Structure 1
Amino acid sequence: MATYSSLGSSSEYLHHGLTTGPSPLAFSSNKSQPLVVFLLTHSLGHLLYDLYHGLTWRPVVLPHHLVSIFGILASLLYARGGLVIVVDGIITELGYLFLLIYYHYHSTSVYGIVLLFYGALRLLLVAWSSSVLTQCLGDSTISPSLQIITVLAQCGIVIVAFHFLYRHCVNFMRLARGKSHPLASTAQPSASVLKLES
């Protein structure tokens, strides 16, 4: 119950803090936020480059990449909502920074602690998404087509984020039971693959 109320409080705070003026800050023009445009184009380039990685040896990342590319292209096309995607990216990518700690130590207990932080960030993503959807659907200046795209993309990124959380939880349970091999889709690439990529 406490988690639900804190989740609601976070969502209310995010919504109140970003809804100033006639149009919510998160959906203001991308042109007034040059750093946002830079981050969007950089992320788009990275995701397009990384599609090869997903297609060749780690297809589990394809849904994430496709949803992200869809959202970024829509934001660039409509020239609005770029801040939403940047915040989505920050929240989701922070979880992967925590996973690097596990990859360094390869300890089941460290993995468990890392997954707590990883899961907490997914809950923050839900609070943020609630704020985004409330802003988007409550703003009459946002076109219906952009509202539909925002709902699809935001729900898509939440589904993908929780799918990865589920896969890491399954992997953690396998390791906790003493099975030495993690699921192939959540395993760290081998040293030979890392050498090829660098």
Structure 2
Amino acid sequence: MNSLCGLLLFCGICFMTLGWANSVGQVPENIQKDFKKLKEQLHLVHNKENDDLFGNPLFLKKPDVFNSNLMEGEKKLLMQETLEVSLKILTNLMKHTPEEEMRTNILAVRGRVEDLRDRYYLDKDHILQKRLKALWDIKTDELETQRKAVYELMDVYNKANKLGSEIHEKKIRRRRRQAQRSSTKLL
């Protein structure tokens, strides 16, 4: 009897583990309902009449960069930026929506997106994101900015050259290791 209880316990644990493993990456039903309700309120039903709206996506353009050969850190930064833009859009939408029920749904969806961003995408990449925005905001046509850039250019060039060389050397070493492994497997 003791072994039967142990077997049942083991099967239960396996069943629960497989269930959890299969649910990773799936959107929970309550979140799907929030999104569906918001889409219905905004009349976002895909049909022939609004093909212009759905024909050219904002975030999920082809080729799909989230399934490309970008490195994980690059994909993470790209997704973080996508979530940030989505949050800005939802915030603006909420400001311009007079209906209280729709504002509540927008707020719920916005909260879900913020939770997702905070759980998986806010860490050191947030510092990188702020630094990139600061670089993009530099006014390149101003004389003072141009003078500062020329003054710092040699240091920037040296750092870029050093980093590029290090990255290139790592690629070469990686290729050599892969070539050695594949030649070892052939023997």
- Does TM, normalized by the shorter one, top 0.5? no
TM range (shorter): 0.3 to 0.5
TM-score, structure 2 normalization: 0.38
Bigger-Rg structure (1/2): 2
Q: More relative contact order in 1 or in 2 (CA 8 Å, sep 6+)? A: 1
